[in-house]
């Protein structure tokens, strides 16, 4: 379609259009066979755009719901870890009291002193008691319980259990006596009974009861809620549905049963974790995630209303949906104009056929009918031109040689050019070379339609992100006529998304830093206490082994916190890297030297094959050394004692460096190779254990940090099975063209 000048006269630059206005043209072809066809095409376009809107909304809703499930799974895992620590510590207290009772079954005064010591040192315990089979409280940290008789039939724990610890439902009251006398509805004051039966002789046994304070669990749940969006609920329950603690909106009283909850209605699944929703739970449509404790009958459940997820999706798609609705309005206007034009042409054609004389086909066309047809064509072209001028998107058309035929008003404003200086010229004749190259990109390598994004420099010297859509224009004989080009400025959309992504990364780092800070100080105290216990404990009593297990677990938790902090530092922080040219052979050697103590403990040898040729790459030396440390530490961890770890580095191809680290682990089953899903799970932070395969050890966070660091360097990390056993890590880095100068010797 040729450019229509703003003057009153209409000029048709296309020869095909000029032929239509000639008196020698006996007939013309209608754009549609009938008005019904025009209306049908318009409706099909509207339905197609509606389907695109629905698909876009559904895709965004699904992705947002998946992200919410992942966040809920993380909160459920944190709640499960905290609850497991509380009840495992309670079990250790009961074990210590059991050992004391076995040594002195009648020394209740010494037992009460030991109970008081534990109560002062463990804030999550509300009380400790010893009860005989008749219900007599022999020893207790509550004065009101000592010497009292309890009706054991009303206590929430049975008498026919073995010597294992039993967690019972929440009980009201501040002590055991109040819990027996309470007859009204459960109050807000109560405790979680933890019971262990102690067999003193074949005919004599006692019950040790620990009262766990549920407010400690609720306080940690509230800390998790402070990091979560409004409306989130955190619950801790027994595997039979009995609620122990809950924080968040619509909080129920403790002791309430969750048997009607969809998670407990048909029994818990056999898995240790999972998610659900959107489904009707807790009175509204919710998304949820749960995790079951591996050692205790506990289930941590975290829920969030699905309405909040849908509202965030609508807020994020507000502008795209508004644009699609505007496009629907334009399609409606075009359909109405095409339908009216087809109807008018049909009426004109009918009148012309009725007024023709009954002679042969060579008779001249009626002048009035030709005039009406020409006027209708002029009106249609004027309407199309007016429509293009009012469209807010910059639009232009070109011919087969790249000459600009039309531009609209939005194109003039966006490019800062007047159409009088553009029409009839190629892009490289009035645009800067880089802008013209961006416009002409992909002109010859697409079929019907293509969409791509480029960076364009504006007349004010600002750089904008622009999405360019090109459509091939075809004639009625399906011959190419040129291109229709539309542009969309996406800079504001990227600018709005970047703060949200940066805020998400900042929130994650703040959350992890806060948790690490809160846990590091008590862990240091635990490590010091356990070291003191190992030095002073007697090996015969078994306390030295117990303190050693506590010390080893504390060190593992500190290592996990360190790796967790490294993950948060590398997340979204690529701009913080300091890249320099280094010979990576020297960096690998420094890392290997730092692992000498670990290698010596397992009697391992390190075989370095780094070659004699420089392997120079542009790396951050601290981050690269950290990544190599994690890979080598993983190889040391899974290598049997007395074996060798092979490290090789070379430049097999032009422009790349290959590093391989091979350990001597077990041989996998025949025909059972590492899948891509297992590789991604090993290199991914917080991957579920079942994703790494049945015969594969759980992935640590160190390899996830390594994956992020190598990716930030423009490289790639992968792993394969070794034929003789173990795995081989492959690290590929881009090679630099520089050489590292040798250090000068001081004279």
What is residue 43's predicted lDDT score, i.e. its pLDDT? Answer: 80
What band does 365 get if pLDDT is binned at 50, 70 and 90? Answer: very low
Most confident segment among 6-20, 156-170, 729-743: 729-743
CB of 244 within 8 A of CB of 217? Answer: yes
What band does 332 get if pLDDT is binned at 50, 70 and 90? Answer: confident
**Domain edges within the chain:** 65-316, 325-354+365-390, 393-489, 499-570, 577-734
147-204 confidence digits (pLDDT tens): 888 777 666 555 555 567 888 888 887 888 777 665 444 457 888 889 888 888 888 8
Report domain 65-316's class. alpha beta
Average pLDDT over residues 513-537: 73
Q: DSSP label at 145? A: T
What is residue 400's predicted lDDT score, i.e. its pLDDT? Answer: 87
Choice between 610 and 257, residue whose per-residue pLDDT is larger: 610
User: Residue 23 pLDDT more than 60?
Assistant: no
50-107 confidence digits (pLDDT tens): 888 888 888 888 888 888 888 888 888 998 988 988 988 888 998 888 888 888 888 8
Cα–Cα dist 712/706, whole Å = 10
Cα–Cα dist 489/733, whole Å = 36
Q: Is the N-terminal amide bond of 17 cis, ω within 30° of 0?
A: no
How high is the mean pLDDT of the chain?
A: 76
Region of residue 461 (left: phi > 0; alpha: psi -120 to 50; beta: else): left
What is residue 668's predicted lDDT score, i.e. its pLDDT? Answer: 57
**What is the three-state SS of 179-238?**
HHHCCCCCCCCEEEEEEEEEEEECCEEEEEEEEECHHHHHHHHHHHHHCCCCCCEEEEEE
How many C-beta neighbours within 10 Å does residue 311 have? 11
Average pLDDT over residues 280-289: 80
User: Residue 647 pLDDT more than 90?
Assistant: yes
What is residue 159's predicted lDDT score, i.e. its pLDDT? Answer: 54
User: Residue 320 pLDDT more than 90?
Assistant: no
Average pLDDT over residues 429-437: 85
Q: Cα-flanking dihedrals φ and ψ of residue 498, to 5°?
A: -60, -45
User: Residue 378 pLDDT more than 90?
Assistant: no
Most confident segment among 35-49, 104-118, 173-187: 104-118
DSSP readout, 384-423? Answer: HHHHHHH-SS-EEEEETT--EEEE-HHHHHHHT--GGGTT
- Local structure of 675: helix, strand or coil: coil
Average pLDDT over residues 674-678: 58
pLDDT above 90: percentage of residues in the chain? 6
What band does 688 get if pLDDT is binned at 50, 70 and 90? Answer: very low
What is residue 9's predicted lDDT score, i.e. its pLDDT? Answer: 36
Q: DSSP label at 273? A: E
Rounded to a whole number, what is the distance in angstroms from the first to the last CA of the chain?
80
Name which of 346-360, 388-402, 661-675 the model is least confident about: 346-360
Cα–Cα dist 92/726, whole Å = 38
Pairing of strands 298-305, 284-292: antiparallel
User: Residue 121 pLDDT more than 80?
Assistant: yes
DSSP bridge pairs for 726? none
User: Residue 397 pLDDT more than 50?
Assistant: yes
431 to 3, 240, 416, 440, 699: CA distances (angstroms):
20, 73, 11, 11, 54
For tokens 């042409």, the residue is 345
Cα–Cα dist 625/567, whole Å = 15
Choice between 515 and 423, residue whose per-residue pLDDT is larger: 423
User: Residue 370 pLDDT more than 80?
Assistant: no
Give the distance, in angstroms, between the CA of residue 619 and the centroid of all CA atoms in the same chain: 28
pTM of the shown model: 0.41
224-256 confidence digits (pLDDT tens): 888 888 888 898 998 888 888 888 776 565 667
What band does 364 get if pLDDT is binned at 50, 70 and 90? Answer: very low
What band does 512 get if pLDDT is binned at 50, 70 and 90? Answer: low
Cα–Cα dist 390/330, whole Å = 10
User: Residue 646 pLDDT more than 60?
Assistant: yes
What is residue 731's predicted lDDT score, i.e. its pLDDT? Answer: 93
User: Residue 15 pLDDT more than 50?
Assistant: no
User: Residue 659 pLDDT more than 90?
Assistant: yes
Name which of 78-87, 263-272, 519-528 the model is least confident about: 519-528
Choice between 185 and 410, residue whose per-residue pLDDT is larger: 410
Q: Cα-flanking dihedrals φ and ψ of residue 208, to 5°?
A: -100, 125
CB of 262 within 8 A of CB of 279? Answer: yes
542-585 confidence digits (pLDDT tens): 777 777 778 776 766 666 566 556 655 555 444 457 888 899 99
What's the topology of domain 393-489?
Beta-Lactamase (3.30.450)
Burial of 704 (0-12, 13-18, 19+ CB in 10 A): buried
What is residue 737's predicted lDDT score, i.e. its pLDDT? Answer: 62
Q: Does domain 577-734 sit in CATH 3.30.565.10? A: yes
What is residue 601's predicted lDDT score, i.e. its pLDDT? Answer: 84
Cα–Cα dist 457/454, whole Å = 10
User: Residue 671 pLDDT more than 50?
Assistant: no
Domains 65-316 and 393-489 share a fold: yes
């Amino acid at each position: 379609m040729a450019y229509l000048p703003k003057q009153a006269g209409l000029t048709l630059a296309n020869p095909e259009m000029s032929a239509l206005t000639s008196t020698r043209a006996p007939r013309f072809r209608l754009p549609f066979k009938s008005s019904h066809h025009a209306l049908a095409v318009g409706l099909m376009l509207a339905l197609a755009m509606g389907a695109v809107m629905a698909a876009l909304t559904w895709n965004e809703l699904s992705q947002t719901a998946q992200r919410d499930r992942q966040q809920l799974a993380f909160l459920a895992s944190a709640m499960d870890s905290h609850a497991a620590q509380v009840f495992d510590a309670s079990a250790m207290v009961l074990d210590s009291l059991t050992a004391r009772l076995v040594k002195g079954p009648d020394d209740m005064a010494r037992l009460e002193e030991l109970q008081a010591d534990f109560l002062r040192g463990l804030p999550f315990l509300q009380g400790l008691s010893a009860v005989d089979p008749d219900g007599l409280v022999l020893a207790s940290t509550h004065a009101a319980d000592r010497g009292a008789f309890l009706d054991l039939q009303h206590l929430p724990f049975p008498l026919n259990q073995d010597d294992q610890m039993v967690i019972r439902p929440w009980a009201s009251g501040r002590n055991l006596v109040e819990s027996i006398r309470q007859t009204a509805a459960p109050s807000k004051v109560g405790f979680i009974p933890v019971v262990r039966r102690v067999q003193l002789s074949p005919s004599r046994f006692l019950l040790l009861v620990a009262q766990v304070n549920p407010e400690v669990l609720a306080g940690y749940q509230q800390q998790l809620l402070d990091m979560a969006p409004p409306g989130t609920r955190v619950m801790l329950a027994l595997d039979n549905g009995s609620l122990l603690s809950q924080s968040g909106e619509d909080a129920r009283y403790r002791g309430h049963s969750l048997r009607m909850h969809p998670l407990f209605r048909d029994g818990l699944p056999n898995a240790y974790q999972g998610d659900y929703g959107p489904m009707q739970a807790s009175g509204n449509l919710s998304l949820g995630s749960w995790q079951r404790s591996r050692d205790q009958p506990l289930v941590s459940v975290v829920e969030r209303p699905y309405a909040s997820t849908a509202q965030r999706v609508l807020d994020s798609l507000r502008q795209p949906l508004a644009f699609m609705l505007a496009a629907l309005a334009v399609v409606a206007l075009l359909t109405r104009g095409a339908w009216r034009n087809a109807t008018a042409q049909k009426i004109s054609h009918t009148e012309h056929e009725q007024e023709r004389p009954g002679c042969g086909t060579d008779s001249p066309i009626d002048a009035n009918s030709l005039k009406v047809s020409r006027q209708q064509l002029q009106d249609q072209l004027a309407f199309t031109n007016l429509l293009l001028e009012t469209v807010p998107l910059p639009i232009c058309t070109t011919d087969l040689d790249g000459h600009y035929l039309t531009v609209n008003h939005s194109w003039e404003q966006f490019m800062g050019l007047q159409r009088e200086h553009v029409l009839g010229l190629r892009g490289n004749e009035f645009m800067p070379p880089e802008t013209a190259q961006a416009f002409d990109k992909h002109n010859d390598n697409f079929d019907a339609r293509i969409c791509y994004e480029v960076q364009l420099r504006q007349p004010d010297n600002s750089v904008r992100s622009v999405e360019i859509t090109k459509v091939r224009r075809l004639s009625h004989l399906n011959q190419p006529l040129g291109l229709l080009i539309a542009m969309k400025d996406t800079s504001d959309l990227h600018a709005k998304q970047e703060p949200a992504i940066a805020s998400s990364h900042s929130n994650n780092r703040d959350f992890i830093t806060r948790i690490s800070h809160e846990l590091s100080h008590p862990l240091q105290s635990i490590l010091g206490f356990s070291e003191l216990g190992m030095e002073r404990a007697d090996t015969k009593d078994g306390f030295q082994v117990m303190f050693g297990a506590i010390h080893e677990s504390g060190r593992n938790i500190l290592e996990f916190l360190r790796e967790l902090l490294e993950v948060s530092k590398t997340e979204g922080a690529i701009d913080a890297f300091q890249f320099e040219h280094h010979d990576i052979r020297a960096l690998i050697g420094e890392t290997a030297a730092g692992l000498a103590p670990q290698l010596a403990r397992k009697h391992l040898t390190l075989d370095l094959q780094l070659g004699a040729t420089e392997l120079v790459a542009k790396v951050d030396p601290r981050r690269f050394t950290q990544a190599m440390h994690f890979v080598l530490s993983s190889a040391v961890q899974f290598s049997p004692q007395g074996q060798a770890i092979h490290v090789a580095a070379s430049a097999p191809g032009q422009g790349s460096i290959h590093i391989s680290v091979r350990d001597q682990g077990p041989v996998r089953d025949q025909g059972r190779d590492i899948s891509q899903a297992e590789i991604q799970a090993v290199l991914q932070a917080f991957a579920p254990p079942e994703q790494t395969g049945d015969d594969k050890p759980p992935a640590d966070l160190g390899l996830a940090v390594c994956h992020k660091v190598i990716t930030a360097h423009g490289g790639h990390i992968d792993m394969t099975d070794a034929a003789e056993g173990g795995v081989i890590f492959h690290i590929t880095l881009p090679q630099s063209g520089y050489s590292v100068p040798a250090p000068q010797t001081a004279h």
